[in-house]
Structure 1
């Protein structure tokens, strides 16, 4: 059986795979070789390099392991038509992403950017306008693995957490839960609004102008999920109109963000280049999910960890 990685992991990680599964033929590339793809039963990919026609070319392909949480850039229709099993690495992003979110919130609250600016100018200026995180309320859109970890860290700082998802069902480390239908009426109570939602039919452009109009003028908004949660025009209007105070963005409608994009010049926006999940342990954690799944696969068990509904997107 051929397991085809469309990226090239670190040597130590490859060696671990070869030792643990000596009967498997692993092939590692930094691109897609159609000759190999045609013979592979399992493909491991970041999810952005497989096109629709390649799904039909991959005659023996039965399982795609996506080393990412999102699958919105994959040819979902063709994969579903072929009946190919899809799994992802949901859950491995929670530590680096939660730390990134918390770092940005604390940086904003404690005015770290201002402090660094004074340092560069060698200016002893104590007129900081820092505020406290303690006692605030955070509304977290998408309280799954990542959102719950964010909630856990925020609660340690004395923050009241409100989770928001499609169902409103209970989630870990959320003091309260609401459904999407109750979002607009809950937003006025939030000091911080954080989204880690994936891109699905239910979440695309979920936030509209009326949602930002409902927020406090002092609200800190952070989008670390997907860029199609809110249109760029709606967000720029909300910032320029003072409907919210600041936006920290790690994802965008268009990526990479063009050099002439307005966000770069706006002092009410912090631009992060989609790096919140980056970690030296990213692939290590991905393989900790892949290896047990590969063992199950070899035993004929297709009920894999993080098995996805390719059409629903999660």
Structure 2
């Protein structure tokens, strides 16, 4: 039995049932329905936030979990590993929308969109607004997977010099320079834009602290659309207030939703968006394409899963 807690439209449900007529699908509308069926599930399809030890304890037949998002934060990795449950996610389907988000937000800052919109609302005709160009600047992309590589590809359309920082520092297309993570502090002073697409791991937690912000250019723009726990938020706030960096764009923060009382909201030079850089009308279609490929592997008993998570490493 294949149990879905992830909500998918009737159109997608019908397509799955047509494509896999010999499989039994259960599409749940509530947590209560999941509880009723999880005991019979061999496959569980979810967005990931409901996978905990209690659910796994009830899922005695479970062999594989397909997560229809990239995030796997908070999964009980020890339990999954002990039970040899395969976990796959949907990383790699976010490149288009997240790269468009990154470029659009950098343009928003450089083209003074906040001020322009305020002037329009107040019916103010002000040609003195200071507009800048993102072309021919230097961009560091920290995390050079599918998303980071697509950001770099779009950046090249603006004739940017692109620097990739990753765990291995391997050479990649669309990057003019590549460095390993232990070189991050050395390359930060080069950048006009720092775009972080890091996942949440023990190695990436609090990786952007005062030391890193201090090394950035005073005019640098820092954009985080990876995970919020990569940033020491008090240090970022200090860096903004002391003008160590020019602007921060945050699609992810440590506590989501960001509390109304959080000082980030009131900082003119911090732009907050509600963790929606990965949103796209094509999202579910792309995620289910990964699931369908993996379901064929599962049915055929082959070890050919796309995006299989290394449970000992957590990614």
TM-score (ref. length: structure 2): 0.97
Q: Post-superposition shift, 1:201?
A: 1.5
Quote the residue 2:103 is aligned against: 102
Q: Post-superposition shift, 1:50?
A: 1.5
Q: Provide the C-alpha distance between the structure 1 equivalents of 2:116 and 2:241, rounded to a whole number of angstroms.
A: 25
Q: Post-superposition shift, 1:180?
A: 1.1
Q: Provide the C-alpha distance between the structure 2 equivalents of 1:230 and 1:42, rounded to a whole number of angstroms.
A: 35
Q: How does 1:233-312 map to 2 (within 5 A)?
A: 233-312=234-313
Gaps of 5+ in 2: none
Residue 282 and residue 54 in structure 1: after superposition, are their counterparts in 2 closer, same or farther (change >3 A)?
same
Quote the residue 1:21 is aligned against: 20
Q: Provide the C-alpha distance between the structure 1 equivalents of 2:78 and 2:103, rounded to a whole number of angstroms.
A: 37
Would you identify which runs of 4 or more consecutive aligned residues in structure 1 move more than 4 Å? none
Quote the residue 2:230 is aligned against: 229
TM-score (ref. length: structure 1): 0.97
The answer to whether the Cα contact below 8 Å between 1:7 and 1:31 also exists between their aligned partners in 2 is no
Q: How does 1:141-220 map to 2 (within 5 A)?
A: 141-220=142-221
Question: More displaced, 266-275 or 111-120?
Answer: 111-120
Task: Give CA deviations for 1:40-75 in whole Å, capped at 9, x if unaligned.
Answer: 000011110121122122110000001111101222
Q: Post-superposition shift, 1:212?
A: 0.6
Q: Post-superposition shift, 1:7?
A: 2.3
Q: Does 1:78 align with 2:79?
A: yes
Q: Does 1:137 align with 2:138?
A: yes
Gaps of 5+ in 1: none
Task: Give CA deviations for 1:112-134 in whole Å, capped at 9, x if unaligned.
Answer: 22211111111111012111111
Q: CA RMSD in A?
A: 1.0
Q: Post-superposition shift, 1:143?
A: 0.9
Question: More displaced, 59-68 or 232-241?
Answer: 232-241
Task: Determine helix, strand or coil for the equivalent of 2:12.
Answer: helix
Q: Would you say how many aligned residue pairs link Structure 1 and Structure 2?
A: 313
Task: Determine helix, strand or coil for the equivalent of 1:4.
Answer: strand
Q: Provide the C-alpha distance between the structure 1 equivalents of 2:226 and 2:74, rounded to a whole number of angstroms.
A: 14
Q: Post-superposition shift, 1:208?
A: 1.9
Quote the residue 2:124 is aligned against: 123
Q: Provide the C-alpha distance between the structure 1 equivalents of 2:310 and 2:88, rounded to a whole number of angstroms.
A: 9
